[in-house]
Chain A
C-alpha cells in the first residue's frame, strides 16, 4: 500500500466523522483532535474506521501514535508493511 493510499484512507475516515473540516488545512504535526474539535467518541470511531478500511489491528497502547496526521501516516505505513 502506498503512502498516498494511506493518506487518502485517513482523510476519507476523518471526512466521514467530521465532514465540516477542511482537511487540507490541517497542520500535519499538530493534534488532529484539537484542530478538528473531535470528541472521544469521534476518536474511537476514527480508530475503528481505520481498522475496518485498512485491516490492521490497532492496540489501545498505540492510540497516541495516531494523534497527528504524520503520526497516522507513519504508524499505518509501518503496520501495513509489517502485515
Chain B
C-alpha cells in the first residue's frame, strides 16, 4: 500500500533548517565551499580530523562548551568540555609518540562506549596514526581476523574484554606491540604484557602539536563484510572530515547549541562518523550512553539530557514501537527537534508511528561504510515519503544502473525501475581503498560510478527506495554480516560437512542470521549437536555475528561451479518458487 506523504510546513519549525530549499541548495553547493567551513591546521599545515573536531573549538570561544557528556551504565556522569577533550587527546597522542608509533601505524580499539575510546580515537588521529574500531560484541575470531588484516600495532581495550576475547588469540598477533588496558570498577588493570591506560595517559604531557597532515593521509580503517572471503578494510582519509561536517549540518540539521545523541556504537562506521566526529566538528554537545538498549532508559535520557537531535536505528525504533507510544508520552520530550535513522531501511509503519508518538517523524537516510558519510537522506525541510531513503545530498550524484555481463554498466533513467544504486566518485569521505586489496577495490567501480551493491529504485521526483542487497551479505540489527565468516566457523566442527548462511527476514532486526548445516556421515542431527554448534559459533564469533537459528539439511544446493546457492536456501526458507530465482543467481 502507498503511505501518505508526511508534509512539512514552516509552522512546524522551531529553527529554520540549514537546508531549506533542496533544489536551490543543491545547485549552488560545491565541496570546495564546504571545505571553507573548516579551519585547517595552523600555518597551512593541511587538514586533520581531530584538529577540526576538538582543537579549533578548544582554542577559541567554545573552549568551555560541553563537547561530550558520558552516561555510565550505573548512573555515573562524566563531562568533557572542548578544552578538556583537547588536553586528554593530546595526552593520548603523546603516549603513542612515546611508544614509538609512527604516522600510518594502526591503532585498534575494542571497547564499549566509554570515554577512553573517544579519547583514543581522537588522539590517534592527532598523531596521524590510523584508527580502527572493533565492535566490542565481536568474539575472538572476528577480532583476530580484523587485527591480522590491518596488522594492528596498538590495541586499546578493557581488562575484561582482553581476558575474554584477546588473551587466547594474542600469540596469533605477533605484530601487536602494545596493549593499553583500561581498568574497571576503579581498579587498575594488572595483566602481564599490557600497559595501564589511565596511568600511561596521566603521565604523558598535555601539550601536543599536530604535525602537518595531508588531506589524503589515511585516518580511519573500518571493516565491513562481503559475501565471500575475509572482511574488507575500508580506508578513509583526513579529508573525509569535510563530508562528516557538512552532512551533519545538512542531513542532521546541526545548529549551535544542539544536544545530539547518536545511539550507534563506534565499533561501526555510524558510531565514528556521527558518534564521534560530526557533532564535534560542528561544535555541539554529544551524548554518549554506555548502556544497552532499554526503552525506559532511552526515554529517560532524551528527557533528562534535553536531547534536540536523535540519530538511531530501525531495530531500536521498532523495539520502541513495540513498547508503545504511551511510554513515550509519559516523558517530556519537548526538546527534540529532529529525528534520523540509519542502518537498514526504516519501514513506513515506523516513520508514521514516530510522528504519532513524538510529534516528529524519523528521517531515514542511507549510506554505508565505504561512503564514510550520509549520501541520501530525508531532510528537515523536505516532505517525507515513508519508506523512502530520501534524496541525494548536495554534492552527491546518485544513479540507478544495470551491470551488463561484459562488466560495463548502463544507466537507468526511467523512474521506478529497479537496479543497482551507484554514486559518482569525488566526495571527500569516499573510501580510498580496501586495505591492501586493490583488486577488490577496483571491482567496485565501473563506467565512472562506485557501485554500492544495494538494489534500489528512484521515483519520478528523485526519491530513492531501497529494494535489497545484490549480494548475500546479511543486514541484521543495523550490522552487516558476511555469510562466509559464519560458515567458516561452523565448518571447524568435525560434524559439519558443509554450511550455508542466509539472512532470514525478521520483523524486528530486518534479518537474522540463519545457518543451514549438512552433516558428515556418522553424525546424527540431534538437538544436542545443534546446541553444540550454536555454542561454538557464539563463542568464536560473538552473539551479533553467530546464527540465531541452525537447521540441519541433507545437502546444500550448489551451482555447477560449486558455489553454495544461498539465494536458493533463502527462497526455500521463504517458501518462494525456486524456479524464479535462477535469474538472480550470479554465478
Contact = CB atoms under 8 A, between A and B. Distances in A.
A44 interface: yes
B285 interface: no
A8 interface: no
A29 interface: no
A42 B543 contact: yes
Interface stretch (B394-402, B495-503, B528-536): B528-536
Given A60-B323, A64-B296, A64-B297, A41 B535 contact: no
Contacts of B324: 60
Contacts of A15: 531
A41 B294 contact: no
Interface string A48-66: 0000000000001101100
A61 B296 contact: yes
A37 B160 CA distance: 12
Given A60-B323, A60-B327, A61-B323, A41 B477 contact: yes
A20 interface: yes
B534 A19 contact: yes
Nearest to A36: B543
B267 interface: no
A44 B137 contact: no
A18 B534 CA distance: 7
A2 B430 CA distance: 60
A45 interface: yes
Given A33-B292, A60-B324, A61-B323, A39 B544 contact: yes
A44 B292 CA distance: 13
Given A44-B319, A44-B508, A37 B297 contact: no
A11 B340 CA distance: 38
B271 to A, nearest CB: 15
B532 to A, nearest CB: 7
Given A20-B535, A64-B294, A41 B509 contact: yes
A20 B294 contact: no
Contacts of B542: 37
Contacts of A64: 294, 296-297
Contacts of B295: 60-61, 63
Nearest to B528: A19
B538 interface: yes
Interface of B: 137, 164, 292-297, 315-316, 319, 322-324, 327, 476-477, 506, 508-509, 512, 531-532, 534-536, 538-539, 542-544, 548
Interface of A: 15-16, 18-20, 33, 37-42, 44-45, 60-61, 63-64
Given A19-B534, A40-B316, A60-B327, 11 more contacts: A18-B543, A20-B539, A37-B137, A39-B137, A41-B506, A41-B548, A42-B543, A45-B548, A61-B296, A61-B323, A61-B327
